[in-house]
Amino acid sequence: MLALRPCCEHCGTDLPPNSTHAMICSYECTFCADCVDQLFTNVCPNCGGGFVPRPIRPAAQLDKYPPKKERLHRPVDLTKYQELYLKNKHTPPEKR
């Protein structure tokens, strides 16, 4: 089941289950749309894959299937990230 992580891994901004601002990669690395737009484009800093908007889980199902509680706030080292970014930014995710 998709892990609904509660915040942006980079900036720590809250991303509740109904947020339309949450972006995820295939491993559920979770970032806010601002960080993705301004810093990461379509290159996940952890795995190098692309991002898609996180689907919204209907509120009525959150009691039974709750979001994750643990806040994973682990700001990206942007200097180290440059290498991964430059290597991948011109290659669409499906060709990486």
Q: Which residue has the tokens 């509740």?
A: 16
Listed ranges 3-11, 51-59, 65-73, 78-86: which one lies at the site for Zn ion (CB under 5 A): 3-11
Burial 42-69 (b: 16+ CB within 10 A, else e): bbbbeeebbbeebeebeeeeeeeeeeee
Total site size for Zn ion, rule CB under 5 A: 12
Of 32, 33, 43, 76, the one binding Zn ion (CB under 5 A) is 32
Q: Please give the residues from 46 up to 75 whose contact with Zn ion meets the rule CB under 5 A.
A: 46-47
Q: Name which position in 15, 22, 23, 44 contacts Zn ion (CB under 5 A).
A: 44
Is residue 25 within the footprint of Zn ion (CB under 5 A)?
A: yes
Q: Which string of DSSP letters, residue by residue, matches 30-42? A: EEEHHHIIIIITT
**In angstroms, rounded to a whole number, what is the distance separating the alpha carbons of residues 81 and 21?**
22
Residue number with CB closer to Zn ion (60 or 92):
92
